[in-house]
Structure 1
Amino acid sequence: MILTARGIDVVAEASDGAEAVAAAVLHRPDVALLDIRMPTMDGLEAARRILAQAPDCRVIMLTTFDLDHYVYAALSAGASGFLLKDVTSAHLAAAVRLVDTGDALLAPSITRRLVERFATGAPHPAARGADSPRLHRDLAPLTPREVEVLGLLGRGLSNTELAVELTLSESTVKTHVARIFAKLNLRDRAQAVVLAYETGLVAPGDANG
C-alpha cells in the first residue's frame, strides 16, 4: 500500500526489514509503516532497531493477521500503532497523523482482544520477553484523578473524549496524561492501555469500539 495524502510526505520506501532500518536511520521519518512479515528482517525486529537508533520515530505495524502474539510482540517492540492491511487509505492516513502527535492506535477488534487477554491475567509470552517494556504495576505515585484518567485511557478514550467525560479542558487532560507517563515511565498510550488492563482498571467490555 502506497500512502498518498495531503500533508504526508513519503521520504523513503523499502523492500525488506534491513532496508527499512537503513532508510529510517538515514531519513529520520516522523512515522514508519512496517509490515510484520518482511524478508531479511521481520517488522518486529526492524521496529526495535529503528526505535533504538531513531527514538523520535513512531512506528505503525501493518499485518494481514489479527493474531494475539503479533499485538503483544509489536507493543513490546515499541510500536505506537497496529493495523490490519485491509484498512482504508483514509484510515491509514488518519493513523499516521494520530501517532505523529504522540498518540497510539490499535484497531478496535485488537483492542477488545487485548482487554480480554490482560483482564484474565494471561498475557501472551511475547509480552514477557527480554525486550518488553518494564512497566510499573504499582499505581501509588498517581493521584486519584490520574488513576481515573488511566482507567479511561485503557478504555480507548481520546483526549477530547476524556475532556468531555471528566468535564475538564483538553489542555488539563493532556497535562494529566503527561504526568501519568512520566510517573509510570510509559512510552505512550499503547503502554498505558496495557497497564490499565494489567492492574484491573479495565475489564472485558469496558473498551470502546
Structure 2
Amino acid sequence: MERVFRCGVVPFALAFLSMMSIVSADIPVAKSTPAKPTPLIKGDAAGAFYVTKIAGAKDDGVDVGQELCYRCRYGSRPIVMVFARRADDKLSDLMVQLDKAVQSSKESQLRGLVTLLNDDLAKAKDNANKLADKTGVKLVPIVVAKDNATGPPNYKLNQSSDVTIVMASDSQVVWTRAYSGDSVDVLDVMSHVKALIAQSIQ
C-alpha cells in the first residue's frame, strides 16, 4: 500500500505544478520601486556633521553664526538629535521637554540638538529664531545643517519625514524614529529619553 501511495503522488504533483505555472503566467508582477533612504538603526555610528548655530543655548560657548560639529563637541555623551522640516506645536513641546531633561540630568550629561531643514536656507534660519522665541530653550542649541535641504548624508534621513529623532550614546545610535506631519509622539519620545539617561548613569 505504501508503494502505491508514493507512486500516486508523482503524477498528481506534476499535474499540480503544471497547472500553477499556467495560472502564474497570467498574474501581473508588481514593479519594484526604488528604496527610500531610512534613518540610522541601533548600533550604527552617529557620525559627524557640520551645522551653523542660529539660536538657543546662549551660554554653551558657541556664538550665533558659528559653524561647528556639535555632535563632535558632545563627544561620547548621550545626545538627542532632532531633525525637523516643519516647526509646529508638537516640535515646540518636544523642545521644551528636551530642554527640561537636559537641565535636570546633569549626572548623565545629556545633550540635545535641534537641526532645522529647508530647501530655503533663509526660511530655515527664520524658523529657528521663531522656535527659540516660542520655546525659550536654554540648553538646547537650534541650528541649520550645512546640507540644509536634506540633512547630513551619513544620517540617511528619509526625505518624506517631517521630523526624525536620533538618540546616541558613546557615539553609537541607540534609538531612532521618523514622523510625518504632526504625528510626533512627545510622550513616547521622552520615555526613550529617560531610558537613555538611565542607561548612561549605570
After TM superposition, the score normalised by the length of structure 2 is 0.28
Choose between structure 1 and 2 for higher RCO, CA contacts under 8 A separated by at least 6 residues: 2
Identify, as 1 or 2, the structure richer in helix: 1
Identify, as 1 or 2, the structure richer in strand: 2
Larger Rg computed on CA atoms: 2
